[in-house]
């Protein structure tokens, strides 16, 4: 029986771990991030991966930083055949990578060599890509730069956001890993080096990247809104207030108003001008300090505001 140490943290990783257990791989230990405080009540919560491991009585290791930790030495002492990572969120030292007899592999949420880094799904949507996917690679010290063992693409639809794509990619990653492992273990796979000329990066989203720039087109604004949903959520300064934009719709019409001006307002509709004479309908927003609400509910309290031509988006 092939022994595995699994490393992962979010919900994306949990079905992948579950599948390894169900397929009777010998999961010696699970390494995941420490429990974190979640929600307004700051409840200390185990990661989804830890919850799977605990349910199956698997050893759980939770170093704040894996490099040089007692937990790292524990993994080395276990002498696993494989180390499998999926959205673990930390770099692994070379000494740890070499501890796996067959190899250390990563289930990465992009079509490498595009979108190396910690936010590949978000950037795929924000940049308007029509597809993304899963790449299984050998792990090396350089971020997401290892040779590729398998890859599978799936489309990104106009309705997808980061949340839905993570759900889809988790299933693709699970199935692709299960199909890849027997060939890898049997020595039947030939890894393919990544093309360095095609490399792009997807670093962690910075706070300034959450703000919508209405000089962009309606489609680009929609891509950013969906790429940042369900977290951290895109925002704009609307009517002088920081307002989260949960859902918008690019409209197929040409407008003459300047970006950030009101094109149209009814009881149930707020249309704003964007770049290149495009327009978006605002569907769901969340003003600062208030709950998420439909545009109808928001406009009910707007009185005479948001008249046609009014500049309501500021930087």
Query: Residue 150: which H helix or E strand, with range?
Result: strand 148-155
Phi, psi for 90 (deg, rounded to 5): -140, 155
DSSP letter (8 states) at residue 116: B
Q: Residues 189-208: pLDDT tens digits? A: 999 999 999 999 999 999 99
Question: Which pTM value belongs to this model?
Answer: 0.94
**Residue-level pLDDT at 303:** 77
The distance of Cα 185 from the centroid of its chain, to the nearest Å, equals: 29
Q: With 0-12 CB in 10 A as exposed, 13-18 as middle and 19+ as buried, what is 178? A: middle
Q: What is the pLDDT of residues 89-113, one digit of tens each?
A: 888 999 999 999 999 999 999 999 9
Return averaged pLDDT per consecutive 10 residues of the chain, 315 residues in all. Answer: 96 97 98 90 93 98 95 97 94 94 97 96 97 97 95 97 98 98 96 97 95 98 98 96 97 97 96 98 96 95 89 95
Kind and range of the H or E run holding 132: strand 131-138
CA–CA distance, 289 with 312 (Å, rounded to integer): 19
Residue 220 structure tokens: 């680009």
The strand pairing partners of 166, in sequence order, are none
310 phi/psi in degrees, rounded to 5: -70, 135
Rounded to whole angstroms, what are the CA distances from 141 to 76, 100, 300? 17, 14, 55
Number of other CB atoms surrounding residue 149 within 10 Å: 22
């Amino acid at each position: 029986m092939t022994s595995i140490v699994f490393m992962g943290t979010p919900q994306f990783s949990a079905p992948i771990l579950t599948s390894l257990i169900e397929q009777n791989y010998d999961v010696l230990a699970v390494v995941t991030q420490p429990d974190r405080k979640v929600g307004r009540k700051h409840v200390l919560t185990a990661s989804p991966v830890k919850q799977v491991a605990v349910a199956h009585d698997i050893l759980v290791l939770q170093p704040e930083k894996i490099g040089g930790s007692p937990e790292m030495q524990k993994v080395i002492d276990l002498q696993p055949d494989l180390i499998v990572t999926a959205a673990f969120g930390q770099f692994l030292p070379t000494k740890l990578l070499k501890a796996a007899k067959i190899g250390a592999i990563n289930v990465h949420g992009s079509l490498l060599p595009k979108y190396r880094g910690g936010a590949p799904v978000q950037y795929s949507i924000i940049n308007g890509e029509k597809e993304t996917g899963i790449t299984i690679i050998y792990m090396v010290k350089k971020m997401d730069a290892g040779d590729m063992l398998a890859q599978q693409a799936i489309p990104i639809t106009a309705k997808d956001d980061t949340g839905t794509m993570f759900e889809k990619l988790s299933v693709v990653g699970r199935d692709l890993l299960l199909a890849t492992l027997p060939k890898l273990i049997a020595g039947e796979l030939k890894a393919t080096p990544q093309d360095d000329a095609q490399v792009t990066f997807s670093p962690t989203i910075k706070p300034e990247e959450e703000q919508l720039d209405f000089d962009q087109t309606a489609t680009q604004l929609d891509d950013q809104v969906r790429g940042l949903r369900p977290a951290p959520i895109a925002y704009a300064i609307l009517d002088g207030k920081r307002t989260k934009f949960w859902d918008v719709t690019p409209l197929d019409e040409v407008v003459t108003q300047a970006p950030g001006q009101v094109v149209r307002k009814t009881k149930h509709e707020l249309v704003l001008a964007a770049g290149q004479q495009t327009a978006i309908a605002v569907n769901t927003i969340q003003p600062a300090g208030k709950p998420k609400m439909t545009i109808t509910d928001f406009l009910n309290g707007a009185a005479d505001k948001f008249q046609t031509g009014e500049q309501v988006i500021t930087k």
